[in-house]
C-alpha cells in the first residue's frame, strides 16, 4: 500500500528561515559518483460528470481531461426515466466504470468533479 507524505508549505518556510545558507558557502555542480533522482510531477487527470432529465429521456455525460489538457467526452442515454439526482449518480458510476476498465491507460491520480 502506498502512503503519501505531505509537508505544509509553512513548515518548509520556517525550516529555511531557521537554517540560512552560510554566506561563504559555494554551490557546486560536481555530482560525480552521486545518485541523482528526478521526479516528474504531472497534474492529475480530471473527471467531470453530470446527468439530467429532459423531454426526450435521461442523459448523462462524463468528460475526462488528461494531464496534458486533452479532452475525452462521453455521453450516454439512460433507458429508464429517473430524477436529475439519480441521473447524476449514474453519470458518476459510468465514469468510475470507465476509470476501472481503462486503469492501465489512465493517470494514477484523478480529481472527480461534478
Q: Is residue 83 part of a domain?
A: yes
The pLDDT of residue 104 is 66
Rounded CA separation 19/14 (Å): 9
Number of structural domains (the chain) is 1
Which domain does 51 fall in, by range? Answer: 45-113
Q: Is residue 89 part of a domain?
A: yes
Rounded CA separation 3/98 (Å): 25
Q: What is the pTM of this model?
A: 0.61
Q: Is residue 63 part of a domain?
A: yes
Q: Is residue 81 part of a domain?
A: yes
Q: pLDDT tens digits, residue range 57-106?
A: 899 999 999 988 999 999 999 998 888 899 999 999 999 999 888 876 77
Q: Is residue 104 part of a domain?
A: yes
Q: What CATH number is associated with residue 101?
A: 3.30.420.10
Amino acid at each position: 500500500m502506498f502512503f503519501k507524505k505531505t509537508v505544509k508549505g509553512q513548515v518548509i518556510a520556517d525550516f529555511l528561515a531557521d537554517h540560512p545558507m552560510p554566506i561563504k558557502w559555494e554551490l557546486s555542480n560536481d555530482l560525480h559518483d552521486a545518485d541523482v533522482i528526478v521526479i516528474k510531477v504531472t497534474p492529475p487527470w480530471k473527471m467531470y460528470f453530470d446527468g439530467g432529465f429532459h423531454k426526450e429521456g435521461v442523459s448523462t455525460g462524463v468528460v475526462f481531461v488528461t494531464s496534458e489538457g486533452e479532452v475525452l467526452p462521453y455521453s450516454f442515454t439512460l433507458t429508464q426515466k429517473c430524477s436529475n439526482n439519480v441521473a447524476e449518480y449514474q453519470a458518476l458510476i459510468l465514469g468510475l466504470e470507465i476509470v476501472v476498465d481503462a486503469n492501465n491507460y489512465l493517470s494514477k491520480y484523478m480529481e472527480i468533479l461534478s
